[in-house]
Structure 1
């Protein structure tokens, strides 16, 4: 660990003498935060010497089962690798009653090489391709989520929480409703205050179009890795603050049958070494920028290959239904929220593309890596996009993207381009992990199947 990390750790301990424990956190392939808790006296050693965690951490499915087909479990003897804290991510955990802290980590081989299955290193691999071109992606992450009651309803299903103001359970919600934000103002304010403590650049909060659904936006960063680190930290923060307020926050892509799903929207622009936005154009709302059009073309071209990153689990594909404002085809357009890649309006200096396909359950590092791989492909091969869509893309363009888990997994195995960006070995392990989880999921017989088929067939 470099001098910056050690100086940060020493300063933190000096400024926070009441801290008695620190959570060392690392995101697995699913984006689930795992790790261990250490006493404060062990923090400097963790920065200097690293912390051992098993390589099989990246073989775990959503329930913590080791998927042995990855080859990272028993085949390797469940061996350890070294994990080091990520500078800039050490902070207090303000929603906890006890004085504690947390820090993100990344995994390395014992000889110091990056552990290729760690999603942070997968993203770094893609970012290095941009550095070779003298370009820097600027990234912002927008994530939707639901807060739900800890108690289930009479049918053991999820239900919205009781309004902190009216004491009644919301049955409907209006998008951008200020009164809904008012009802949950203490919860939203707690998120903002906790984000200030952790130096997370939280921007706007929006009430979405379903009861208990919100969107919290992070400001853009000219460091895509930092943007993803902050997205992971914000998700943990929201869950912690929700629990403090007697609720449960979920980032499931589709928690309710008849309500909108939750997505993750990624905004990306490119700057050169002088800090100029290379997507900027004064004409035609930015659509005439050659580099922007090439970037869009590459993102659209890699969408089918990337689908199992955008939608990584069984529930992810419930979100892709007509009428719920989720793009299901390779479309783009200016200031159009029915397309997969939107070019927002605004000033030329802020010109960017917005990727709107992924669910809230996507791993931020892998999601951004896949989008940036598409941008790099488009600009390096000077690809041309199809005509931009005006009007309702849902009506004019039938679904063309893989819309089931098995279709997306089968496509992943046929991928030709994405492995060259993310790494062929990582792609092999990712497929084994996701396919293994699907096999376990398919063994489960749901109550819906009993209702439909038990007496009828």
Structure 2
């Protein structure tokens, strides 16, 4: 018996897709966990219609896994639930063909629901939808886009054991320089980036400007601004998968660690966000340019006030915390400013009609659904409580004292702050909050138990 899809997906969408793409033989069906890792199955062409008719049973424990795919029992999603099955359903509009696969494949995103069709509230996508729904009830609709920074690395490490920038896929040329904004240097990677753009186009993503970033082998791709923040998060997480697949096809490694090289800048995932009213007007726009609208100031105030307790969402891994260093283009204090890249919350220069907040703390290793949910919750809190953001930072935000910022200084402090945070419980929902913080605590324990090369280097012959 066909069950009505709680996600809003329809059989007609799948039927039309199959008719339009007779060449496609299989589909990746993908659910994103707390770390943003795509987990699921590959199904054959003839199975797609049954997926759209009845969903697909998946174990509830798939949302309680750590970064290594190990069960985290403290999430309450493993044996507390008998590791039973729930039902995943396809997300409307996410069924797309993949570029360059042989044989041809497609992919579709899915979300988890209970067997009776209620949202499974440890699903990151539902956490974001919860904040979108809350804003809609207040007559507001968030719009936005993410920026994607990443490294392209050689598959083999250098003689010192460190990762090294990838050679140009065009002719094998190598550079260890910081080729920031070098257009000529981009040319050596154009065959790879042409395939990335082709993959994005097939997936309905408008990938835009490409630049060489501020580290050897580091690049940035920008994405088209979306009137639907959920679509913006989908674009980011899908583009990461496209970049990773096309890099692999060209013989190099795409790296989405926040800080793969201790001597250079790390990779961020800046989130640009504005707020539209029911008429589609941007409520952040000021009447006179530079005379800031109270709405955007209150939004900044909410984001500043909640940033410290939210940092685990923006910096979720051990490596994430290596990104935060003075003069590194990663913010180290909850500051705001205009046209200033040293602050955490930036109002970019440009057309007043495009007035928005650029939220800069998140690393590219963060989950975009959880980042967006947390940012929207901070904006809601600030606007509802009319929070004052304090004075604008007009100079070097790195000069601001860490002691006055109350920001966590390391991963463990961020985990403890997140566990205690009533704001984060509301932002993510209690179940997602419990799941996320339990997974992070388990990963912290794994890292701290691991005896690394640093231990031997520092202590083997000295203590």
Equivalent pair of 2:273/2:356 in contact (CA under 8 Å): yes
CA distance in 1, matches of 2:445, 2:420: 19
The answer for the alignment partner of 1:418 in structure 2 is 424
Q: Please, which of 48, 58, 62 is the counterpart of residue 57 of structure 1?
A: 62
1:173-322 matches, within 5 Å, as 173-285=178-290, 288-322=292-326
Structure-2-length-normalised TM-score: 0.96
The answer for the alignment partner of 1:9 in structure 2 is 14
Structure-1-length-normalised TM-score: 0.97
CA distance in 2, matches of 1:276, 1:72: 42
CA distance in 1, matches of 2:38, 2:128: 17
The answer for the alignment partner of 2:414 in structure 1 is 408
The answer for the alignment partner of 2:98 in structure 1 is 93
The answer for the alignment partner of 2:371 in structure 1 is 367
> Deviation per CA, 1:276-314, whole angstroms, max 9, x where unpaired?
1111115353x5211000000001111011100000011
CA distance in 2, matches of 1:288, 1:69: 45
Q: Please, which of 59, 76, 80 is the counterpart of residue 75 of structure 1?
A: 80
CA distance in 1, matches of 2:42, 2:140: 38
CA distance in 2, matches of 1:235, 1:140: 14
CA distance in 2, matches of 1:3, 1:110: 16
Alpha-carbon distance, 1:262 to partner: 0.4
Whether 2:164 is the aligned partner of 1:159: answer yes
Equivalent pair of 2:299/2:382 in contact (CA under 8 Å): yes
The answer for the alignment partner of 2:433 in structure 1 is 427
Q: Indicate how the Cα distance of structure 1 residues 109 and 396 shifts in structure 2: closer, same or farther if over 3 A, else same.
A: same
1:436-451 matches, within 5 Å, as 436-451=442-457
Whether 2:362 is the aligned partner of 1:358: answer yes
Q: Which moved more, 1:152-161 or 1:339-348?
A: 152-161
1:376-395 matches, within 5 Å, as 376-395=380-399
Q: Indicate how the Cα distance of structure 1 residues 418 and 144 shifts in structure 2: closer, same or farther if over 3 A, else same.
A: same
Q: Which moved more, 1:320-329 or 1:302-311?
A: 320-329
CA distance in 2, matches of 1:5, 1:247: 38
> Deviation per CA, 1:194-231, whole angstroms, max 9, x where unpaired?
11111112121111011211111111111111111111
Equivalent pair of 1:282/1:348 in contact (CA under 8 Å): no
Alpha-carbon distance, 1:3 to partner: 7.3
Alpha-carbon distance, 1:424 to partner: 1.8
The answer for the alignment partner of 2:25 in structure 1 is 20
Ranges in structure 1 where 5+ consecutive residues have no aligned partner? none
The answer for the alignment partner of 1:120 in structure 2 is 125
Equivalent pair of 2:9/2:91 in contact (CA under 8 Å): no
Alpha-carbon distance, 1:38 to partner: 0.7
CA distance in 2, matches of 1:11, 1:163: 40
CA distance in 1, matches of 2:34, 2:375: 17
Alpha-carbon distance, 1:166 to partner: 5.5
- RMSD, aligned CA: 1.4
Moved over 2 A (4+): 1-5, 163-169, 282-285, 396-400
* Secondary structure of the corresponding residue to residue 376 of structure 1: helix
CA distance in 2, matches of 1:74, 1:257: 40
CA distance in 2, matches of 1:57, 1:120: 14
Alpha-carbon distance, 1:232 to partner: 1.0
> Deviation per CA, 1:174-206, whole angstroms, max 9, x where unpaired?
322211221211111111111111111212111
Alpha-carbon distance, 1:345 to partner: 1.1
Alpha-carbon distance, 1:39 to partner: 0.7
Q: How many residues align?
A: 456
CA distance in 2, matches of 1:194, 1:420: 37
Q: Indicate how the Cα distance of structure 1 residues 185 and 282 shifts in structure 2: closer, same or farther if over 3 A, else same.
A: farther
* Secondary structure of the corresponding residue to residue 402 of structure 1: coil
CA distance in 1, matches of 2:416, 2:8: 45
* Secondary structure of the corresponding residue to residue 184 of structure 1: helix
Equivalent pair of 2:170/2:191 in contact (CA under 8 Å): no
1:98-109 matches, within 5 Å, as 98-109=103-114
* Secondary structure of the corresponding residue to residue 156 of structure 1: coil
The answer for the alignment partner of 2:339 in structure 1 is 335
